[in-house]
């Protein structure tokens, strides 16, 4: 298609697809018309990819995830199809700004945090590597809630991304699958047959996942719940309107909303229904495709690699056994073996409260046949491993982590430290019984979205220095190494960062009325709010710094802006307290004329993928300060390092591997190791001792508890401070002094451009390994046995 062809296709879609007159088209109309025009350019590759996979009889990867934190899709498609210039020119000719049009798209916020975003990065890398794959998930009507602040407190509102045309999805009219819940299992001729009591339809919607250079595309298939029978006209005619609409409303409930918890399972029936709904629909769809391509059931593992993104789809084990044994007559033990040959499981957290355990009663009531099969699987495992102690059902609860482990041929952690801890803690016995099953696949992020697209200034400098090969071969960033002592290169590098910071400062002033100095150090902590991520350690250090500046106003302070963003699970009271405190501290510190030229605090509402893309390229310091042993990997840490923001952090998750690769001189390390954490916890009143030993910490806690930041409600933080001085399970107090000292080292380095910029640039040059392309290659080799069909 010629340039003019593309340019003309935009108004054509506006007129003929949207029926809108260009004269009174809104920005949103133009954005959808442009999306349709860009979409035209990827559908051919998409259909060709599906055809190539079918013709090659290729093994497919199936990535099952309750969450896909996609963000916006228009810019991703433009970047991967290399249409930037064409789009900018076409929009300019229409008198439109590309940045404004792109920013009009709502984020697809179908996830909570790390797990969901990782799934999205993986889908982009699978397409870039030309691996035949499907992502399977739920088409939530409402994604992660919108966050706003009222008097500094988090307020949640429903997110409604689907209230407008979603230009990137295709409703697959022919892909509707019937699923059941409840009911009973009856013995018919010696065969257990499940008669479900409640049925619902799973309707497929496909979204193309295009790869770099637009050579390959895979489908993300999201299921929407619909009633078996539409509208009940009889009831309506009898004037029973509500009842007439009830079946529809009931069915739709299943895919209505994403559960906003990212660490605590609440054992809600609807959550289990969601997990079974998308897992069963996906497995039925996988078997339907396999059988349509003439496969023999026993060969399924040769053609289907099914990855379980945490335990949320772990019901896949018993469901696949049911489909092979109950519905297709395969012998039970062979069905278990065949299922295991397909399934593999990724664990993303060791937090006890995040490990899913469904009550046996609920499982039996909702999925009676699966409960029976879980017991059969447990018995088969006991037969295989007579001395095994760990059972899949304990104290009336089904252990989904253990079930996933037993039904998988490979289990992986998401960083070297995390995988090691899995073997020593939650899966210690299963690891002993199956010593070759656990492997490590350290997380990664897609360089297309998180560097090439989000940071065009730095990308142009890199491409201008080493060519553009790095975009799909990120470890080539190391070719920058020879430039890292070159003053001209470092100037250009610093220039890119400075310009990004100026843009951010401009945006913050315009959108949030916040004035910040682009020359200041932008110190950024953006992630879900959780005690183990220790945003409260950061704000306590901020308070101590403020007090120190007030006490020494003439000292040569390095101006700093503390930027926070992140959502708390609605039911997580302590996390909401942390948000409130940060906002309260910001109000006092930013209004303090004695100190606000040296220190400002900003908490940006409604953190999401698009906000991260705006903040990370403009950041100087990456806060990765979790209690050692708690953050399975982290992926924000990788995005910051690639964008030239050195890390202040603990030896936790992938921080360890980032530090190994950038070098200890280019990483601000502090705090206890995982072993020291265990030892420190055993010290009675460890928090009191730490407070007694550090006056700054004591001073900060005192200010909080005395209401310095809550003049209208002086004692509201008593509980908060009480928790820290008493329990302090995440050792905020015991790591405070080391954190303070590390922050002062940051000040010293930032004050020396000749020290800071080589450090920042080394972070970019040495973290190419953290590409999700490398991670996916690891899964392909160690777990899936899948290969690329890339039409190189
Ligand atoms: C049942 C409620 C629930 C929902 C989501 C429990 C746990 C989760 C996720 C596993 C939490 C999560 O997002 N974990 C994060 O996964 C990232 C990707 O591997 C890691 O980088 C983070 O360290 C980890 O916290």
Q: Among 263, 625, 638, 654, say which to mutate for ligand 1: greatest number of ligand atoms within 8 Å of CB.
A: 263
Question: Separation of 422 CA from ligand 1 center, angstroms?
Answer: 14
- The answer to whether residues 56 and 790 touch, using CB atoms and an 8 Å cutoff, is no
- Atom nearest to 118 CA in ligand 1: 18
| In the predicted structure, residue 792 carries a pLDDT above the cut 60 | no
Q: Give the helix ranges, DSSP H, for 694-735.
A: 695-705, 718-725
pTM for this structure?
0.98
**Which pLDDT value is given to residue 232?**
78
pLDDT recorded at residue 785: 98
pLDDT tens per residue across span 645-704: 999 999 999 999 999 999 999 999 999 999 999 999 999 999 999 999 999 999 999 999
Ligand 1, atom 10, residue with closest C-alpha: 348
Whether 500-770 and 57-71+107-443+776-784 are alike in CATH topology: the answer is yes
Burial class (CB in 10 A: 0-12, 13-18, 19+), 70: buried
Number of the ligand 1 atom closest to the C-alpha atom of 271: 1
Residue of 205, 168, 209 whose CA lies nearest to 46: 209
Q: Compute the distance between CA of residue 607 and CA of residue 593 in angstroms, rounded to an integer.
A: 29
| Residue 319 pLDDT class (50, 70, 90 cuts) | very high
CA distance 757 to 765: 12
491 CA distance to ligand 1 centroid (A)? 39
Q: Find out whether the beta carbon of 637 lies less than 6 Å from any atom of ligand 1.
A: no
Q: Is the Cβ atom of 120 under 6 angstroms away from ligand 1?
A: no
Q: CA angle, 357 as apex, 352 and 361 as ends, to 5°?
A: 150
Start-end of H helices in 239-393? 241-253, 269-292, 300-303, 316-321, 332-342, 360-366, 368-384
pLDDT, average across residues 363-373: 98
Residue whose Cα lies nearest atom 2 of ligand 1: it is 265
CA dist 582 and 93 (Å) reads 45
Confidence bin at 236 (pLDDT 50/70/90): confident
Domain limits, the chain: 1-56+86-105, 57-71+107-443+776-784, 500-770
Expressed in angstroms and rounded, the spacing between residue 529 Cα and the centre of ligand 1 is: 13
Query: Which residue from 114, 426, 529 has its CB within 8 A of the most atoms of ligand 1, so it is best to mutate?
Result: 114
- Closest residue by Cα to atom 8, ligand 1, is 262
Residue nearest atom 17 of ligand 1, based on CA coordinates: 114
Q: Is the CB of 115 under 6 A from ligand 1?
A: yes
- Contact 124 CB / ligand 1 (< 6 Å): no
What confidence score (pLDDT) does residue 531 get? 98
633 Cβ closer than 6 Å to some ligand 1 atom? yes
Q: Is the CB of 631 under 6 A from ligand 1?
A: yes
Is 211's C-beta closer than 6 angstroms to any atom of ligand 1?
Answer: no
Q: Give residue 344's pLDDT.
A: 98
How confident is the model over 355-373, as a mean pLDDT? 97
What is the rounded distance in angstroms from the CA atom of residue 307 to the CA atom of residue 729?
34
Position 467 pLDDT exceeds 60 = yes
**pLDDT of the residue at 264:** 72
CB of 114 shorter than 6 A to ligand 1: yes
Over range 584-602, report the average pLDDT: 98
Res 229: pLDDT: 79
Q: Residue 579 C-alpha to ligand 1 middle, in angstroms?
A: 20
* CB of 112 closer than 6 angstroms to any ligand 1 atom: yes
C-beta of residue 774 within 8 angstroms of C-beta of residue 446: no
Q: Which of 120, 272, 348 to mutate to test the pocket of ligand 1 (most atoms within 8 A of CB)?
A: 348
> With a 6 A CB cut-off, is 771 part of the ligand 1 pocket?
no
Ligand 1 atom nearest residue 310's Cα? 10
Q: Is the pLDDT of residue 218 over 60?
A: yes
CA of 629 to the centre of ligand 1 (A): 14
pLDDT of residue 233: 81
Ligand 1 pocket residue status of 367, Cβ below 6 Å = no
Give the C-alpha separation, 109 to 363, whole Å.
29
pLDDT in tens, 249-264: 889 999 999 999 887 7
Neighbours of 424 (CB within 10 A): 11
Find the Cα–Cα–Cα–Cα dihedral 411, 417, 418, 423, rounded to 10°. 60
The closest-lying atom of ligand 1 relative to the alpha carbon of residue 265 is 1
Check pocket membership of 310 for ligand 1, CB cut-off 6 A.
yes
Q: What is the DSSP letter of 257?
A: B
Tell me which residue has tokens 């772990």: 314
- Provide the CB-side half-sphere exposure for 656 (13 A, CA): 22
pLDDT at 1: 54
Report the nearest-CA residue for atom 15 of ligand 1: 114
Alpha carbon of 461 to ligand 1 centroid (Å): 34
CATH architecture of 500-770: 3-Layer(aba) Sandwich (3.40)
C-beta of 261 in contact with ligand 1 (< 6 A): yes
* Mean pLDDT computed over 180-193: 96
Q: Quote the ligand 1 centre to 405 CA distance (angstroms).
A: 17
* Tokens matching residue 730: 């995440």
> Does pLDDT of 607 surpass 90?
yes
Q: Which residue's alpha carbon is at the smallest distance from atom 5 of ligand 1?
A: 262
Q: Which atom of ligand 1 is nearest to the CA of 443?
A: 19
Closest residue by CA, ligand 1 atom 21: 634
Question: How confident is the prediction for the chain on average, in pLDDT?
Answer: 96
Residue percentage of the chain with pLDDT more than 90? 94
CATH tag for 57-71+107-443+776-784 (out of 3.40.1440.10, 3.90.550.10, 3.30.1490.190, 3.40.50.2000): 3.40.50.2000
Distances (CA, A) of 512 to 43, 270, 499, 529: 39, 38, 19, 21
Within 8 A by CB and 6+ apart from 234, the residues are none
Q: What are the residue numbers of the active site?
A: 348, 527-528, 533, 635, 639
pLDDT for the residue numbered 3: 59
348 lines ligand 1 (CB under 6 A): yes
Q: Mean pLDDT over residues 364-384, rounded? A: 98
Residue 240, SS3 per DSSP: coil
Residues 6+ apart with CB under 8 A from 767: 477, 638, 641, 642, 658, 661, 662
Strand partners, 346: 309, 412
Helix (H) or strand (E) holding 306: strand 304-309
Six-digit token pair at 471?
Answer: 């975009």
Tell me the per-residue pLDDT of 614-640, one tens digit each, with 9 for 90 and over: 999 999 999 999 999 999 999 999 999
Region 756-775 average pLDDT = 98
351 CA → ligand 1 middle, Å? 9
């Amino acid at each position: 298609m010629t340039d003019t062809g593309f340019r003309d296709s935009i108004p054509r879609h506006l007129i003929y697809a949207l029926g809108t007159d260009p004269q009174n088209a809104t920005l949103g109309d133009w954005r959808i018309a442009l999306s349709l025009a860009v979409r035209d350019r990827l559908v051919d590759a998409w259909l060709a990819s599906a055809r190539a996979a079918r013709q090659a009889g290729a093994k497919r990867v199936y990535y099952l995830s309750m969450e896909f934190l996609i963000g916006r899709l228009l810019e991703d498609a433009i970047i991967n199809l290399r249409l930037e210039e064409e789009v900018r020119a076409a929009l300019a000719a229409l008198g439109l700004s590309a940045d404004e049009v792109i920013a009009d798209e709502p984020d697809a916020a179908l996830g909570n945090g790390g797990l969901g975003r990782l799934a999205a990065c993986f889908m982009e890398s699978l397409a870039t590597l030309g691996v035949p794959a499907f992502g399977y998930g739920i088409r939530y009507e409402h994604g992660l809630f919108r966050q706003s602040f009222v008097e500094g407190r988090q307020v949640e509102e429903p997110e409604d991304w689907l209230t407008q045309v979603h230009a990137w999805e295709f409703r697959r009219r022919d892909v509707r699958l019937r699923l059941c819940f409840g009911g009973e299992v009856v013995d018919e001729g010696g065969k257990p047959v499940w008669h479900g009591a409640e049925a619902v339809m799973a309707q497929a919607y496909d979204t193309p996942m295009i790869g770099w250079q637009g050579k390959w595309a895979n489908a993300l298939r999201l299921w929407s719940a619909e009633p078996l029978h539409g509208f009940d006209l009889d009831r309506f005619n009898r004037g029973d309107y509500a009842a007439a609409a009830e079946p529809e409303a009931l069915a739709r409930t299943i895919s209505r909303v994403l559960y906003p918890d990212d660490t605590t399972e609440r054992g809600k029936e609807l959550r289990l229904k969601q997990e079974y709904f998308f897992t069963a629909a996906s497995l039925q769809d996988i078997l339907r495709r396999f059988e349509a391509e003439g496969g023999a059931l026993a060969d399924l593992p040769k053609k289907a690699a099914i990855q379980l993104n945490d335990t949320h789809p772990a019901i896949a084990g018993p469901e696949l056994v049911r489909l092979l044994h109950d519905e297709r007559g395969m012998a039970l033990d062979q069905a278990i073996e065949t299922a295991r040959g397909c399934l593999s499981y990724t664990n993303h957290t060791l937090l006890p409260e995040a490990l899913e355990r469904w009550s046996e009663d609920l499982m039996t009531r909702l999925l009676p046949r699966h409960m029976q099969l879980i017991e059969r699987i447990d018995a088969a495992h006991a037969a295989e491993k007579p001395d095994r102690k760990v059972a899949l059902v304990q104290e009336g609860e089904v252990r989904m982590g253990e079930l996933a482990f037993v039904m998988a041929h490979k289990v992986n952690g998401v960083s070297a430290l995390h995988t090691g801890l899995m073997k020593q803690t939650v899966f210690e016995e299963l690891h002993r019984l199956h010593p070759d099953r656990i492997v490590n696949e350290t997380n990664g992020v897609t360089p297309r979205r998180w560097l090439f697209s989000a940071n065009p200034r730095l990308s142009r400098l890199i491409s201008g220095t080493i060519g553009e090969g790095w975009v799909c071969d990120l470890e080539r960033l190391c070719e920058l190494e020879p430039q890292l002592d070159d003053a001209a290169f470092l100037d250009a590098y610093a220039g890119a960062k400075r310009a990004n910071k100026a843009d951010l400062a401009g945006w913050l002033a315009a959108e949030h009325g916040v004035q910040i100095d682009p020359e200041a150090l932008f110190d950024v902590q953006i992630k879900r709010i959780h005690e183990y991520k220790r945003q409260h350690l950061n704000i306590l250090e901020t308070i101590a710094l403020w007090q120190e500046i007030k006490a020494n106003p003439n000292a040569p302070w390095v101006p700093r802006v503390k930027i926070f963003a992140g959502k708390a699970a609605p039911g997580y009271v302590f996390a909401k307290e942390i948000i409130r405190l940060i906002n309260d501290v910001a109000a006092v510190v930013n209004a303090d004329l004695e100190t606000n030229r040296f220190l400002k605090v900003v908490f940006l509402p409604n953190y999401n993928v698009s906000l991260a893309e705006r903040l990370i390229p403009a950041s100087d310091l990456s806060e990765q300060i979790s209690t050692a042993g708690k953050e399975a990997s982290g992926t924000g840490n990788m995005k910051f390092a690639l964008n030239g923001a050195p890390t202040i952090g603990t030896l936790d998750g992938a921080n360890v591997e980032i530090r190994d690769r950038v070098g200890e001189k280019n990483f601000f390390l502090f705090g206890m190791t995982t072993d020291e954490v265990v030892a420190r916890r055993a010290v009675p009143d460890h928090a009191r001792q730490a407070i007694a030993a550090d006056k700054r910490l004591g001073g900060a806690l005192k200010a909080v508890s005395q209401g310095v930041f809550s003049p209208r409600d002086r004692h509201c933080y008593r509980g908060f401070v009480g928790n820290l001085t008493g329990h302090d399970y995440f050792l905020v107090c015991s790591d405070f002094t080391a954190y303070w000292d590390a922050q002062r080292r940051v000040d010293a380095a930032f004050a020396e451009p000749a020290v800071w910029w080589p450090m920042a640039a080394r972070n970019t040059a040495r973290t190419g390994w953290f590409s999700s392309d490398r991670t996916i290659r690891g899964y392909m080799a160690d777990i899936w046995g899948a290969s690329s069909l890339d039409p190189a």
